[in-house]
Structure 1
């Protein structure tokens, strides 16, 4: 079974979302999103890969922050971009 070392470096508590109203990049651009992801390194809220602009992945590509959490009500799963695993 594959493991992810990146979860060990996460803060004890999730960071506060920078923009709890939605994808901060889509809000700035005036575009739409499908689902939201919270960067567990810095609190960036970005849209998922099913969204047209894929801002959560773009944030990873730029900042290299490895782990996001679903920012959808009732969901608490986390994804590591580096290891391509649900963690």
Structure 2
């Protein structure tokens, strides 16, 4: 990954391109801060590729990654953790275009 930028390829039932920015800021601590403040556990984490926000997935009680997208409009989040294929090679989701993205 050069200069913190990674390219992604869209894959999914609609098979259309994702038109959003796909640069990847560095991740902070591996936790959902909103859940941690409430004492909640989370299932998986999603990293916002626009600003680096780390939130829990929709299978978690808080669904904070989707809430972040809804409040900011930031469209692409990368899966972090065990449910993401291989470490460093996981998928991303484009909320705006509703497609999965895979590293090239």
TM bracket (short chain): 0.7 to 0.9
RMSD: 1.4
Whether 1:42 and 2:54 are equivalent positions in the alignment is no
The structure with the greater share of residues assigned to strand is: 2
Task: Give the secondary structure class of the aligned counterpart of 1:5.
Answer: coil
Using CA pairs under 8 Å that are at least 6 residues apart, name the structure with larger relative contact order, 1 or 2.
2
TM-score by length of 2: 0.72
Q: Deviations over 1:30-62 (max 9, x none)?
A: 211001100001111100010111000000010
Task: Give the secondary structure class of the aligned counterpart of 2:66.
Answer: helix
Structure 2 gaps, min length 5: 1-14
> Which runs of at least 4 in structure 1 moved beyond 4 Å after TM superposition?
none
Structure 1 gaps, min length 5: none
Distance of 1:45 and 1:72 partners within structure 2: 12
Q: How many aligned residue pairs are there?
A: 82
Structure of greater Rg: 2
Q: Deviations over 1:4-50 (max 9, x none)?
A: 111xx233xx21224x2311211122211001100001111100010
Task: Give the secondary structure class of the aligned counterpart of 1:59.
Answer: helix
TM-score by length of 1: 0.84
